Structure 1
Amino acid sequence: MLSPAPSGWTLFRNRDFRLFGGARFLTGLAYQMQAVAVGWFVYDLTRSALALGLVGLASFAPAMLGALVTGHVADTYDRRRIAALSYGLLALAGLGLTALALSGAAPVWPVYALMILVGTARAFANPASQALLPTLVPREQFGSAIALNSSLWQSASVTGPAFGGLLYALGPAVVFGLAAACFALAAVSIIGIRPRPAAVATRPAVTWSTLLAGLTYIRSQPVVLGAITLDLVAVLLGGATALLPIFAQEVLFVGPLGLGLLRSMPALGSVLMAILLAHRPLTRGVGPRLLIAVGVFGLATIGFGLSTSLPLSMACLFVTGAADMVSVYVRQSLVQGETPDAMRGRVAAVNTVFIGASNELGEFESGTLAAFAGAVPAVVIGGVATVAVAALWGRLFPALRRRDHLIT
């Protein structure tokens, strides 16, 4: 008789998972506080939707341009050290933003330069940390580990924006400085994980074949390809994060604290869904549920775009976060659970590009469309397009639509 599946919380008995989770929480807290402060700081300087979109582009470009290299590095060298060094670089970028804020009125281009530095550090940190997680837990606990890891990130994402919005009243330098400290502590935490030499069995030679191995693998797996591209297109079209300062200032009239609350809502929805998935993992019908979740994400985005009420806007953003968590859970489980360890870094790097495209590049798309059509039409159009994409992907990727079990 099979023993019952272990509770998700038993993972916290694993010392390495606790250290990894601590670093995940700290970096999530820092990212979100910094994002709120950067968005408001740039909008204060420029009053431009396009300028907000350029922040996302500056963050995403390094991941897109360096994906082949960062993945190869994650499969060649100690993933702990790569992540720790990357978090240290993020701390330095946070100190740079602090100095810029303390200098008073300034041109906006140094912010873009520092966001490029942030994007570069994240480009190396993400594939290394994604590839590290599956080596810390047994295979049968992948799903719970991914859900709990996501819940830690999203818990930080709930408190981070609200905390960042509240502290912004004391000045952006306070928020940037605290974010830098969190990144530094995350670096210390991740380096404390015990070395696992078996995580990378051999160091692949640097050839075009090895550099492109992650992309080649994803293309050969229709289910993985469908899940990743679905998330890419849906969030690219339906994301409204970059425009939240405009909605807070000009639609809802709620100021920096209200902006923090708005940014917290998707994360709150995500963390509650992640906790549910950690204790009740999806076991059947994961493909159809993924497609439905993306459709719900699009509908909630439309509702947010049309809302002029803060409570209703918060509720819509909460639903987008819960629906997005289902997509993250399924996608990450497929990518990390079915990829050979020796090439997890390269696959994770490609996955990072898709995630970045759906988030940071999506911010650029939203900002550009809003500059021409207005913030409200941009969000509503994006939500309608997301619903259409969910329906279309069910036809384009029948293997994804028919996928029943999460891990085969």
Structure 2
Amino acid sequence: MSTGSAAPKLGPRELFRNRTFLLFQARGTLSNVSYTLYVGTILWLTYRLSGGIFLSGVVIGVQTLVFTLTFLISPLVDRLYDKRWVFVLCYPVQTALALVLALTYAGGVLTIPILVAIVVLLSVLWDFTEAADETTTRLLFGKDNLFVISGLGSAIGGGVNIAMYFAGGVAIALFGVVGGSYLLAALLAVATVVAIPLSIPTPNIVRQTWWSGFREGWAHFRGEQGRPLRHLSPQQFVVGFFVTAPTLLMTLYVGRFFAASQATYAGLYVAYLLGGLIMGLLLGRLNPRGYIGPVVMGAIFVMGVALLGAEVAVASLSLSLVVWFAVGATNTARVQATWTYVQGRFEPTVLARVTMNVFLFTGVASATGAVVIGALSTLWDSAMLTDLVSLGFFGAAALGLALPETRVLAF
């Protein structure tokens, strides 16, 4: 399969017969589901430990802060010839950490310091796999196929994803943190096996020092060519402050309005994930590479509207499921469109660095926002907190429309 930007356009028939695509899809599905299951487990775990979302905000903030440091290791990932080794080396260690989380919680010896240590170690490893992931699709299939690969991947993996999301929901509903952690370990172990035969070579690697690679990554922000990134970064900083809020609010709502029901939390979280899955399918079919700006800003605005609906929906579980489905769909539209733009615009040899440099702005704000929102939850009622987050999303959408480059993002 081509590794350059001029790869031939691919259709479903060619991809269904392509071993590389099937391995790529299997590894990606396992990785994505394991991460979403991990987030759901950690949110519920911290709520159970503390009875509120302040600790959840702190833990998610710490995790996100570690994620922002990916820009420091991305030069190393960019110059690695075969990105497969990032996955093969990191997934087994994460598997072991997931087992430690399950066993310490089941044994009643899990303390907050141990939890934070596990989260930090898992996050550092996800730094490496995320940096490698940002380059993988472009390296294997070229920029013209990014949305198509994403959409077809969602279609092929849709049934698997749905089954896994429901399995994760059932594991959390029936067995709580322990069930979620064991399932997380199993998914990461299988992902390791799938990653071993998936070669992801990088052409035309320039051997350079870490410092030279680091500077080259930031050089793409300068001059006329860097103008879109200079506009995108502050917009990402603003929206980043609020992006951890939806799942924090979901956890808070379950605790305050649904009697802290484990089953209800699992149901709402699965609805949120399924919304994202359906949106991924839709984006893949539409392939909106020529109008990414409106997709991103529209998604951010609609997410703010959907969160306002969450205040009303607490009277009905069915209505709440619909609302959180919508929140998940709009969040996926925002995330997928934003990062597909970056993947499509820059060459694979610098993708990890450029992507993680942009994420630095999102991540710093996200880490701060998670802690602030968690702290405010101890002082404000859920309606006030939800209104603040919705206004934040409205403001981020308005800023994106005001900046000339972000409103016309395309590749």
TM superposition score normalised by structure 1: 0.87
Give the aligned partner of residue 73 of structure 2: 70
Per the alignment, residue 214 of structure 1 pairs with 217
Shift of 1:161: 5.3
2:4 corresponding residue in structure 1: none
Q: Which residue number in structure 2 is paired with residue 286 of structure 1?
A: 292
1:301-312 paired onto structure 2 within 5 Å = 301-308=307-314, 309-312=316-319
Task: Report the counterpart of residue 137 of structure 2 in structure 1.
Answer: 133
Q: Deviations over 1:83-107 (max 9, x none)?
A: 2212222112101102212212542
The gaps in structure 2 that reach 5 residues or longer are: 1-7
Q: Structure 1 residue aligned with 2:407, among 393, 401, 404?
A: 401
Relative to structure 1, the CA distance from residue 79 to residue 154 in structure 2 (aligned partners, 3 Å threshold; closer, same or farther) is same
Identity of aligned residues (%): 21
Cα deviation 1:135-177 (Å, max 9, x = unaligned):
1113321221234456778877755554334223235323212
* Corresponding residue number in structure 2 for 1:175: 180
2:216 equivalent to 1:245: no
| Kept in 2: contact 1:299–1:383 (CA 8 A) | yes
* 2:262 counterpart SS class: helix
Q: Is the aligned partner of 1:264 residue 2:270?
A: yes
Query: Is residue 33–residue 175 contact of structure 1 (8 Å, CA) maintained in 2?
Result: yes
Does the Cα contact within 8 Å between 1:42 and 1:52 map onto a contact in 2? yes
- 1:48 paired with 2:52, answer yes
Cα distance in 2 between the residues matched to 1:70 and 1:193: 22
Structure 2 counterpart of 1:107: 111
159 and 262 in structure 1: CA distance in 2 versus 1, 3 angstrom threshold: farther
Tell me the equivalent position of 1:347.
Answer: 354
RMSD of Structure 2 on Structure 1 (CA): 2.8
Instruction: For 2:30 and 2:200, locate their aligned partners in 1 and report how far apart those are by CA, in whole Å.
Output: 21
Partner of 1:324: 331
Deviation at 1:265, TM superposition (A): 2.2
The residue that corresponds to 1:184 in the other structure is: 189
State the Cα distance separating 1:298 from its structure 2 match.
Answer: 1.1
Residues 324-368 of structure 1, C-alpha deviations (whole Å, 9 max, x = no match): 233233222221111122211212322444554576654334312
Give ranges in structure 1 of 5+ residues lacking alignment: none
Structure with more of its chain in helix, by fraction = 1
Runs of 4+ in 1 over 6 A off after TM superposition: 150-157
Q: Which residue does the alignment assign to 1:22?
A: 26
Give 1:322 shift: 2.2
- Please say which of residues 228-237 and 313-322 is displaced more in the overlay: 228-237
Provide, for residues 28-70 of structure 1, a one-character-per-residue CA deviation record: whole Å limited to 9, x for no partner: 2222223222222222222132111122023122222x32332
* Alignment CA distance shift 1:102-1:152 (3 Å): farther
Q: What is the CA-CA distance between 1:211 and the residue it aligns to?
A: 1.2
2:301 is equivalent to residue 295 of structure 1: yes
User: How many residues in Structure 1 have an aligned counterpart in Structure 2?
Assistant: 398
Q: Distance in 1 between matches of 2:185 and 2:31?
A: 10
Q: Which deviates the most, 18-27 or 146-155?
A: 146-155
Of 358-367 and 329-338, more deviation after overlay is shown by: 358-367
Contact 1:165–1:256 (Cα < 8 Å) also in 2:
no
Native 8 Å contact 1:163 1:260 kept in 2 = no
Give the residue type in structure 1 aligned to 2:393: T
- Letter aligned with residue 213 of structure 1: E
Match of 1:203 among 186, 202, 207: 207
SS in structure 2 opposite 1:341?
coil
Looking at structure 2, the residues matched to 105 and 371 of structure 1 have their Cα atoms a distance apart, in angstroms, of 26
Distance in 1 separating the partners of 2:333 and 2:400: 16
Query: Which one-letter code corresponds to 2:265 in the other structure?
Result: L
Distance verdict in 2 for CA 1:82–1:355, change over 3 Å: farther
| 2: CA distance, partners of 1:151 / 1:211 | 37
Distance 1:90 1:75 in 2: 22
> 3-state DSSP class of the match of 2:141?
coil
Residue 40 (structure 2) pairs with residue 36 (structure 1): yes
Match of 2:343 in 1: 336
Question: What amino acid is the match of 1:182?
Answer: L
Q: Structure 1 21/202 Cα, relative in aligned 2: closer, same or farther at 3 Å?
A: same
- Local SS of the residue matching 2:199: coil
Partners of 1:263 and 1:232 lie apart in 2 by: 25
In structure 2, what is the Cα distance between the partners aligned to 1:278 and 1:8?
A: 12
Given that 1:80 and 1:129 are in contact with CA atoms closer than 8 Å, whether structure 2 keeps it comes out as: no
TM-score by length of 2: 0.87
Please name the residue that 1:275 is paired with: 281
Matched, 1:95 2:105: no
- Deviation digits for residues 280-322 of structure 1 (CA, Å, limit 9, x no counterpart): 2125443233322211111112211443122222222222222
Distance 1:217 1:223 in 2: 10
Q: Please state how far the C-alpha of 1:251 moved relative to its aligned partner.
A: 1.5
Q: Give me the whole-angstrom Cα distance separating, in 2, the residues matched to 1:26 and 1:321.
A: 19
How far 1:25 sits from its partner (Å)? 1.2
The letter for the 1-side match of 2:40 is V
